[in-house]
């Protein structure tokens, strides 16, 4: 696939990509990381973030600067949206100023409204439903460590949140098995699970379980996220005893394949969803994973902008 074949496309969900397109973006990210491929795009990226961000904000900004473009950081609190301007009005105005817009917000429907009224590419930089840009980097990290996806199994432990939804779709697209271990009342959206199973077909399997130990047995990737996502902080304390059996710790890591890697999308609450020893141990690839946010988003921007 030519890197330019995504030119002008939105990325609202990983399901917007085919398997071929997803793997091409991952491969381009690796080529950009090694320096073997370079693109230039003198365009302007807008960041419209209603949620806090470290890695997404910085990696998108650095990626655009490295491509030769500019970034305008649009704090939602100081835009007219905060004062009640309709999304469709803001979207049509920004469409005439910017070349691409990355949005980090709560409702997936708000993101979809922007995409409806703006002709420029709109990228999901995180919603309550999905976090596709994170999974681009996750899959890049997996491929770096295992040289592919065939025969691999990723196990996720914790809350059935936006991170799980994108992992389900991403693993299904590349043909990687996925186990999701969550407490009974915190399973992923059944509609997303059905969608992922349809994408996977008979190429890979999806297991949703409440048994963390079973989910971890012989897997190649152990993955977790915070137990209370942004906007759920009030319930964080009450969730701890419910989620404690799903902590990634040394005992859980021992159940996995001897060459297994540990991933976390960050920020981490050490010794809650993951122990300090698991984060810092020999199986951890968390810092490589965080670095790959830059390369994956750089590749995505080059693809949707049609960089030269």
| Catalytic site positions | 104, 131, 134, 225, 265, 293
Q: Which of 183, 187, 203, 179 is nearest to 19 (CA)?
A: 203
DSSP state of 168: H
Angle between the 132-146 and 286-305 helix axes, to the nearest 10 degrees? 120
Tokens found for residue 35: 């320096």
Give the CA angle between residues 69, 292, 105 to the nearest 5°: 70
Show the DSSP H helices in 81-156 as ranges: 87-97, 108-117, 132-146
Sequence-separated (6 or more) residues with CB below 8 Å from residue 57: 47, 49, 73, 104
Residues 307 and 67: beta-carbon distance below 8 Å: yes
DSSP-derived 3-state class of residue 232: coil
- The Cα-based distances of 102 to 45, 142, 154, 160, 301 in angstroms read 7, 25, 28, 24, 10
Q: Rounded to whole angstroms, how far apart are CA atoms 303 and 305? A: 6
Q: Rounded to whole angstroms, how far apart are CA atoms 15 and 166? A: 9
Dihedral (Cα; 245, 247, 249, 255), 10-degree rounding = 60
Q: What are phi and psi of 263, to 5 degrees?
A: -125, 150
């Amino acid at each position: 696939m030519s890197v330019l074949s995504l030119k002008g496309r939105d990325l609202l969900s990983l399901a917007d990509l085919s398997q071929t397109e997803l793997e091409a973006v991952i491969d381009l990210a690796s080529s950009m990381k090694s320096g073997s491929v370079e693109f230039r795009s003198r365009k302007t990226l807008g960041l419209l973030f209603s949620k806090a961000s470290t890695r997404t904000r910085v990696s998108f900004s650095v990626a655009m600067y490295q491509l030769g473009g500019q970034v305008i950081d649009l704090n939602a609190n100081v835009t007219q949206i905060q004062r009640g301007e309709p999304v469709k009005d803001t979207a049509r105005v920004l469409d005439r100023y910017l070349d691409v817009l990355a949005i980090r917000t709560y409702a997936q429907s708000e993101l979809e409204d922007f995409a409806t009224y703006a002709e420029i590419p709109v990228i999901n930089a995180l919603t309550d439903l999905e976090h596709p840009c994170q999974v681009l980097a996750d899959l890049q990290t997996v491929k770096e460590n295992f040289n592919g996806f065939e025969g691999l199994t990723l196990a996720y432990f914790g809350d059935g949140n936006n991170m799980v939804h994108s992992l389900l779709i991403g693993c299904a697209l590349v043909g990687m098995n996925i186990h999701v271990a969550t407490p009974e009342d915190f399973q992923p959206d059944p509609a997303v699970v059905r969608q992922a199973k349809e994408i996977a077909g008979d190429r890979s399997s999806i297991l949703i379980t409440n048994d963390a130990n079973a989910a971890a047995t012989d897997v190649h990737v152990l993955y977790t996220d915070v137990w209370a996502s942004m906007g759920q902080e009030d319930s964080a304390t009450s969730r701890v005893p419910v989620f404690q059996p799903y902590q990634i710790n040394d005992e859980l890591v021992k159940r996995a394949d001897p060459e297994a890697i540990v991933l976390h999308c960050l920020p981490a609450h050490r010794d809650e969803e993951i122990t300090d020893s698991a984060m810092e141990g020999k199986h951890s690839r968390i810092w490589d994973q965080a670095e790959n946010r830059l390369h994956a988003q750089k590749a995505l921007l080059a693809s949707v902008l049609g960089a030269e």
